[in-house]
Amino acid sequence: MGSLSMEGEPISVRIALVPDRPAPPQRADSSEIVALRRLREEQPELASAIDLQIELLQIQRRIQTRVPLPSINLETTALNALLADGPILRFEQLPIEWSDVRFLLRATAQAMRKHDAIEEVDVMTIGSIGLTRFAGGGSSILVLVSAAPSDSRAVWRGASPSH
């Protein structure tokens, strides 16, 4: 170590140790997770399914904080006009970050595989979904997610949804 000096005079420096920071507090479990943990104690034969559900709820909680609410005009005349014409909120109005959708799909697949709810080949198929096209040249993730529930199986197999 070198010595410090100011205009030829030695300077004494004392460095105080910074105490270790405490770990950030953990979030409290939601009422659903508390109830599921209680159920696991009461019915241990359901432990695997309950653990999967807890993990899925934790994934949902993680992604939910990143999803903004859509903007909608709440004036009475505007809402009445929307109600007369059809849905108040259309899919296109949802501010979806597609990388979050991709994360959600992959994290859900990995959790399901971890708990033996799906096969590894299914995880790999879901993992191969791109933001613009499926690996096999199929539909985009936007088409898959925005398809009507009755059309989603056809889209997954590579067919076009009927909008």
Q: Which of 130, 139, 144 is nearest to 158 (CA)?
A: 139
| 41 vs 15, residue with greater confidence | 41
Segment (H or E) for 95 = none
End-to-end CA distance of the chain: 74
pLDDT at 5 (0 to 100) = 60
Query: pLDDT by residue (tens digit) across 111-157?
Result: 999 999 999 998 888 877 754 444 444 455 666 666 655 444 444 44
pLDDT for residue 14 is more than 60: yes
pLDDT for residue 1 is more than 60: no
Burial class (CB in 10 A: 0-12, 13-18, 19+), 96: middle
User: What pTM was computed for the model?
Assistant: 0.60
pLDDT for residue 43 is more than 90: yes
Query: pLDDT by residue (tens digit) across 96-110?
Result: 787 888 888 899 999
Give the mean model confidence (pLDDT) for residues 1-29. 67
E strands, the chain, in order: 5-6, 9-10
E strands, 1-126, in order: 5-6, 9-10
Q: Which of 153, 105, 154 is nearest to 127 (CA)?
A: 105
